[in-house]
Structure 1
Amino acid sequence: MHELIAAPYLDHHLLVRPGSAKAARLPARRYEELRIAAATVPSWMADAARRTWDLDLSGRELGESVLVRAPSRYGYGRASYELNLGCNYDCEHCYLGLKRFSGLGWPERERLIHAIRDAGVLWLQLTGGEPMIDKLFPETYRLTYELGMMVEILTNGSRLAAPKHLALLTRFRPNRITLSLYGATAESYDGLTRRKGAYRMFLKGLDAAHEAGLPLDLALIITRHNAHEADLMRAFADRYGLAYREYTHMSPTIYGGAETLATQAPDHLVDREPFQGCNAGHTFFHVDPHGMASICKVGRDDAIPLMTTGVEGLSRLGGVADSLMLRTGGCTGCRLSGTCRVCRPLAKVYQEAKAPLDRYCQHATTRS
C-alpha cells in the first residue's frame, strides 16, 4: 500500500502522507514526471520524503510507495460523505433530527466513492450519524484510502476500540479522527447523549486510539446540559494533549425543526464570524447517505443525484451554489442586506425553524 500520495489539488499539486498533517508542494513538471515517466522513486522525491516525513524511499519502485492521482476536470478538492443518518446516541441537540439507518448498499456505494475520487477530491470527511456503526464502514474506509484520499472521520468514539476498527485504522492511517466530547463526567455525558454507559465507551475508544498513536482531536459540544463543565472539558483535552474546537451554536434540524435550539447554553454563545464567502459547491461538496450531492451539510436544496448522473452531475453544483447564496426568502426587503455577512443557506434553515433573529443574523440588534 502507498506511503505517499501525489495529486492535483485545486490550482497546484501536492505530495501528502496519510496520517500526517505535513505536505510538500509539487511543481507541475515534477507531477507530470511522476504521472508519465517515473518507474522508481526519483532522487528529488526521496529527498522531499526524507526532509518532510523522515521517510526513506531511496531506490524503491514508485508504484509500491507512491500513489499518483490522475487529474480531474471537475476541480473539487474536498468533500464530506454521510454514510448514514443512524446513531447509537440520542442527543437532543443533533441537527439530523430523525436518525434513520438507511443508505446505499455496497455496489452503489463503491460507485459513489469512485465518483468522489474522480471529482478530484483529495481530502474526504466520513461522517454520519455515527459512521462506525455503519455495517459497511470498514469497506468504505478502506476503499477511500486505497483510492488515494486523505480521510477524516467524525465520530463519537464509541466503536473506536473495536478490534476490527482499530486494526484497520492503525494499518491504514486516517488523516485525522475528530471525536465529539459531550461532557467531562459520566453523569453529564450520559445525560446529554441519553445513553447510559456512553461516557465509558467514549473513554475506551479514546484511550485505545491514543495508545495506538492515531491522529486525534476533539470537538467540544457545549450545551445547556454540560455548560457547567466547559472548563473541565477543556482541561480534559489538555490532559490528553489534544487540539480542540468548541461548538456552542446548535443548528435547526435538516427537516426544519427548531427543537434543537432549546439545548443551547445562552451564556456560552459567541458572535459568529462574519461570512466572507465560501467555496461550497465550487471546490467542496457534501454527499448524503443516498448519493445526493449538495453544496454543503447545511445547504441541501437542489441536490444532485450522483447515482443517476455520475460524477458529471457535479458540473451543475456551482450554479446551484450561486443561486442558494442569493438574498431571498426571509431576507427579502431587509435594508441592511447589502452589508450582510451571514451565510444565506444557514440563515434559511434558522428562518424555516422560526428561530429568534439573534441566533443567526449579525444585524439582529440593529433590525430590532
Structure 2
Amino acid sequence: MQFQLRHVLSRAAHWLQLTGGEPMIDRDFLKAYAYAYERGMLLEILTNGSRLHRDEVLDTLTRMPPHKVTVSLYGASEEAADSLTRTKGSFRLVMKGLEAARAAGIPVAITLIMTKHNEHEADSMRDIAREYADRFSEYGSISPTYDGQPDPLAAQSPRFLGGNTVFRGCPAGHTFFHVDPFGLATMCKVGRENPIDLMTNGVAGLHGLPALADAQMLRTGGCSGCKLSGTCRVCRPMAKAYQLAKAPLENYCQHREGESA
C-alpha cells in the first residue's frame, strides 16, 4: 500500500479492516498498520493465520494492539484444510499462528469456514476454536467470486447453507467503503462496479460513492419485481454474482427451479 493511499484513508476513515486474500503478505502491511494505528484508527485484521507466528508481526501487534484479529479456520486436520486451501502445510501454519498469538497474549476470534472438505470435522473445528479464541462463528455460505466465477460454489456443504437473516438494507458506500490494493474505492468488496480512483481523486472522490452504491442496490435482471423481496436474505450485488455464476437458485434464492426469480 503506497504512502499516498494511506494518507487518503487516514483522512477518510476511523475504522480500518485489513483483509485480502491474506493481508500480511503485502510487503507494506506492517508499515500501513503502524501508520493507521498511530492516527488513532480502530483496526481489524482478517487473516488465514499463516503469518501470525512471525516475530515482526507479533511484535507489532503486541506494541500496537488491534481492535480485533479474526483467523479463518479451514479444517481440523492437514488433510481437510490443505485440500481446501490447495496449499500444503497451510493447517500447520495456522495452528502455529494460533499458538504464537496465545503465547503473546493477542486475543483472536475464529471463523470456521464450513465446506464439503471439512464438514466431517465440524466438532473438532469447534474444539480448536474454543481452545484458542475468545469467540468463534461458523460460515457456510460460500459465494462465487466477485466477478461471478462459479468455482468456489463446488465447496459448499448443504448442511451449512442458509440461516442468514432477512436482508434489511446495508449502509455500504454511505458509512463504509472498500479499497483494493490499487486505490480503487467501491461500495463494498462485493459491489465493485464503477470504482473511484482515490489515487487520482483523493478523498473528494468519495462524495460520489453513495449514489453509486444506491444504484447497485436496485433490483434488476432476474430480481426485478420479485414478490419475495421482503424476505430475501441476499443483497443485490451478491445476488448478481450468483446469477453471473449461473448458480442453482437454492444456493441463494427462495424460488425453486423453473419459477421466475
Query: Equivalences for 1:1-368 in 2 at 5 Å?
Result: 104=1, 109-119=2-12, 121-337=13-229, 340=232, 342-364=234-256, 367=259
Q: Which residue identity lines up with residue 218 of structure 1 in the other structure? A: I
| Cα distance change on mapping 1:146 and 1:358 into 2, 3 Å | same
| Shift of residue 363, structure 1, vs aligned partner | 4.2
Contact 1:293 1:305 in 2 (8 A): yes
| Residue ranges of structure 1 left out of the alignment (5+ in a row) | 1-103
Distance 2:129 2:226 in 1: 42
Query: Higher mean Cα deviation, 313-322 or 198-207?
Result: 198-207
Distance 1:341 1:259, change over 3 A: closer
Give the secondary-structure state (helix, strand or coil) at the position aligned to 2:46.
strand
Q: Between 341-350 and 220-229, report the one with greater CA deviation.
A: 341-350
- TM-superposed CA distance for 1:117, in Å, is 2.0
Instruction: Give yes or no for contact 1:219–1:247 (8 Å, CA) kept in 2.
Output: yes
Q: Deviations over 1:322-366 (max 9, x none)?
A: 111111122134344466453111111111111111211234489
Runs of 4+ displaced beyond 6 Å: none
In 2, the alpha carbon distance for the partners of 1:331 and 1:159 equals 41
CA–CA separation in structure 1 for the residues paired with 2:203 and 2:63: 30
Verify the 8 A CA contact 2:114 2:157 in the aligned structure 1: yes
Write out per-residue CA displacement over residues 127-150 of structure 1, whole angstroms, 9 at most, x where no aligned residue: 111111111111111111112111
**DSSP-derived class of the 2:130 partner:** helix
Relative to the length of structure 1, the TM-score reads 0.67
User: How high is the TM-score relative to the length of structure 2?
Assistant: 0.94
CA distances 1:38-95 after superposition (whole Å, capped 9, x unpaired)? xxxxxxxxxxxxxxxxxxxxxxxxxxxxxxxxxxxxxxxxxxxxxxxxxxxxxxxxxx
User: What is the rounded CA distance, in whole Å, between the counterparts of 2:233 and 2:73 in structure 1?
Assistant: 30
SS in 1 for 2:120: helix
Counterpart secondary structure, 2:177: strand
Quote the Cα distance in structure 2 between the aligned partners of 1:199 and 1:339: 38
Higher helix share: 2
- 2:202 is paired with a residue of what secondary structure? helix
Structure 2 regions of 5+ residues with no counterpart? none
Counterpart-to-counterpart distance in 2, 1:171 and 1:340 = 44
Count of residues paired in the alignment:
260
Identical counterparts, % of pairs: 56
Distance 2:231 2:161 in 1: 23
